[in-house]
Amino acid sequence: MEASTEINHERHILDFTDRLKNIVTKEYLQKLCEKYQAEKGYFSTREVVAVFKRPNSAAIIWKQYFTEAKGEFVAEMVLVKVDGQYKCDHVMVF
């Protein structure tokens, strides 16, 4: 989340799968971060709600807060095993 706040593309995609890296280009990340930061502020605290485990993947759900937007949001991430390492293949905040 720190790399997203800083809009640091290189750090942000470090542990992404190739599939997700192809989607989250430097330009895409810049526009996305500028939009959510203008609307909601920055990411604030986060609480784990659930972790769903499978043999080669996991889904993690958090309760997410922002510095400006009031209320609770959902953050989710899907990790998949690639060449023995877990990589982020999907992420969303809503």
Stretch 9-19: mean pLDDT: 97
pLDDT at 1 over 90: no
Render pLDDT for 18-37 as a digit per residue (tens, 0 to 9).
999 999 999 999 999 999 99
Distance CA 22, CA 13 (A): 10
Domains of the chain: 2-93 (3.10.450.100)
Strands 73-82 and 57-66, sheet pairing = antiparallel
Mean pLDDT for all residues in the chain:
96
Report residue 66's pLDDT band, with 50, 70 and 90 as the boundaries. Answer: very high
CA 66 from chain centre, in angstroms, equals 14
Burial class of residue 64 (count of CB atoms within 10 Å of its CB; 0-12, 13-18, 19+): buried
pLDDT at 24: 97
pTM: 0.88
